[in-house]
């Protein structure tokens, strides 16, 4: 009679480990380190190593969700907007020029989405921000040390990491992320996180100061033209959020509408004044390259405007129409340098509407939560989303690796904090989920 009890003991122990807070924290740190450090992992080891790490994280994450299945309701498992976008991307395999490649690429974004959803279920907003802060402190510190070694101490480029050793000339630097634009984007994400840590007193003041200075220095040294736009946009969003949070509850709705109208007018004015703005930023050549690419990509999206050419994510240089677009431009682009145009090209207007719905609902939900709740930690989600959506105008980072993980994570977090599904659960949060 004792044999069954002994037989169940290892399974019970495994379930306890999968449900433990220690594993949840370790998993979050490992997952964020893997996706943000993906370029360095691939170029110091191999793509196979990186893929193996991601597959391992997906497997462990699914195990954690299974172990916590009683804490998770089906209605709150994942945002429907994320499921709809992934469903359309998978459906594109039926009309893609390379069905096998589309399915493989879909498993890539699908696996990363699973990782993001796991993190959203096992950690709350503050714990997630703290984990990201810890990861980015390490990665940015390593980047700065390697840049100093390459550009000052040894005066040789570290070509295997893409580090050119330009720090003595004050940039541009790439760190361990491969390109200056990706470093700049990650530095802005890190700065948002570091400032939230500072405001919530989550880490010692000295460490907060070091982190903010580190992120600011690398953002400047990246010499990325998109960093200026990102910095101004996020700062403006933070200022507006502060204004809304300090307004009387009865005045928040009209204030939100008024500020929304100002943003729309500002965006229209910025569009018509784009050339002077670009000249002031000193990014004329960079912007010209992008506009030529966008124009060409939109032209080819017109062949299949509704469904697109099929999901590929990062461009495959041997696949049509990416190879022809690069041939026409005489370049080797790995994306459309604009997430919205990339989605339009690959998934058509249906995919673009689904992507905008995903991003828009997440932003609105998280913004309303941040404007109503007292703790400043709730500002982290909408500010990260603002950075993602603004950067998507100039890069396609939001559709791949860390950018996609952050988008799905923020969407899941916003859905847990404020969702129509609360109504069908009679106002009761799912047991075990972070109610914050």
* Rounded Cα distance, 419 and 433, in Å: 14
50-59, 142-151, 183-192, 247-256: which has the minimum mean pLDDT? 247-256
47-51, 235-239, 258-262: which has the minimum mean pLDDT? 258-262
Query: What is the pLDDT at residue 14?
Result: 79
DSSP 399-411: GSHHHHHHHHHHH
Write down the pTM of the prediction: 0.90
Question: Is pLDDT of 393 > 90?
Answer: no
Q: Which residues contact 235 (CB under 8 A, 6 or more apart)?
A: none
Question: What is the band of 283 on the pLDDT scale with cuts at 50, 70, 90?
Answer: low
Query: What is the pLDDT at residue 428?
Result: 45
Query: What is the pLDDT at residue 243?
Result: 84
* Rounded Cα distance, 280 and 169, in Å: 22
Question: Is pLDDT of 263 > 50?
Answer: yes
* CA distances for 233 relative to 79, 366, 383, angstroms: 26, 17, 9
- Whose tokens are 């400032």? That residue is 195
Q: How many CB atoms lie within 10 A of CB 192?
A: 24
- Residue 163: strand pairing partners: 158
Please tell me whether the peptide bond between 236 and the residue prior to it is cis, using omega within 30 degrees of 0.
no
Beta strand ranges found along 168-244 (DSSP E): none
Question: What is the band of 277 on the pLDDT scale with cuts at 50, 70, 90?
Answer: low
Where does 92-179 have alpha helices with state H?
99-122, 125-148
Instruction: Please answer whether residues 131 and 160 qualify as being in contact, where contact means their C-beta atoms are separated by less than 8 angstroms.
Output: no
- Residue 28: strand pairing partners: none
Q: Where is pLDDT greater, at 421 or 243? A: 243
Please tell me whether the peptide bond between 120 and the residue prior to it is cis, using omega within 30 degrees of 0.
no
DSSP 210-221: HHHHHHHHHHHH
Question: What is the band of 1 on the pLDDT scale with cuts at 50, 70, 90?
Answer: very low
Structure-block tokens of residue 419: 């969702």
Question: What is the band of 20 on the pLDDT scale with cuts at 50, 70, 90?
Answer: confident
Query: What is the pLDDT at residue 433?
Result: 39
Burial of 433 (0-12, 13-18, 19+ CB in 10 A): middle
Question: Is pLDDT of 256 > 70?
Answer: yes
Q: How many CB atoms lie within 10 A of CB 160?
A: 9
């Amino acid at each position: 009679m004792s044999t069954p009890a002994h037989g169940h003991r290892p399974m019970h122990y495994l379930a306890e480990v999968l449900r433990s807070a220690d594993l949840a924290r370790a998993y979050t740190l490992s997952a964020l380190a893997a996706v943000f450090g993906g370029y360095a992992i691939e170029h110091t080891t191999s793509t196979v190593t990186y893929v193996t790490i991601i597959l391992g994280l997906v497997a462990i994450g699914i195990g954690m969700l299974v172990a916590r299945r009683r804490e998770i309701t089906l209605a709150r498992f994942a945002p429907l907007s994320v499921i709809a976008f992934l469903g359309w991307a998978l459906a594109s395999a039926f009309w893609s020029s390379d069905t096998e490649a589309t399915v493989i690429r879909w498993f890539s974004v699908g696996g990363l989405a699973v990782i993001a959803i796991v993190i959203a279920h096992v950690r709350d907003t503050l714990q997630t921000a703290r984990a990201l802060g810890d990861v980015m402190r390490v990665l940015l510190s390593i980047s700065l040390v390697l840049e100093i070694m390459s550009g000052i101490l040894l005066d040789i480029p570290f070509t295997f990491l893409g580090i050119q050793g330009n720090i003595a000339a004050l940039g541009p630097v790439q760190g361990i992320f491969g390109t200056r634009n990706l470093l700049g984007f990650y530095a802005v994400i890190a700065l948002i996180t570091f400032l939230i840590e500072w405001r919530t007193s989550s880490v010692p003041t000295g460490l907060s100061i070091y982190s903010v200075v580190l992120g600011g220095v690398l953002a400047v040294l990246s010499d990325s033209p998109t960093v200026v736009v990102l910095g101004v946009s996020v700062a403006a969003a933070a200022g507006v959020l502060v204004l809304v949070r300090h307004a009387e509850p009865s005045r928040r709705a009209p204030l939100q509408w008024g500020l929304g109208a100002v943003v729309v007018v500002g965006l229209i004015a910025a569009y018509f004044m784009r050339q002077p703005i670009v000249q002031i930023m000193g990014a004329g050549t960079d912007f010209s390259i992008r506009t030529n690419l966008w124009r060409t990509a939109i032209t080819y999206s017109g062949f299949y405007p509704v469904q697109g050419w099929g999901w590929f994510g990062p461009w495959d240089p041997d696949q049509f129409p990416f190879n022809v677009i690069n041939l026409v431009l005489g370049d080797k682009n790995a994306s459309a340098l604009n997430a919205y145009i990339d989605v339009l090209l690959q998934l058509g207007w249906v995919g673009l509407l689904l992507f905008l719905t995903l991003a828009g609902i997440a932003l609105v939900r998280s913004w309303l939560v941040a404007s109503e709740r007292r703790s400043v930690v709730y500002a982290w989600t909408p500010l990260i989303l603002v950075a993602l959506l603004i950067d998507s105008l100039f890069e396609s980072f939001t559709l791949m690796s860390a950018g996609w993980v952050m988008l799905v994570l923020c969407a899941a977090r916003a859905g847990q904090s404020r969702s129509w599904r609360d109504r069908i659960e009679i106002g009761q949060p799912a047991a075990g989920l972070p109610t914050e």
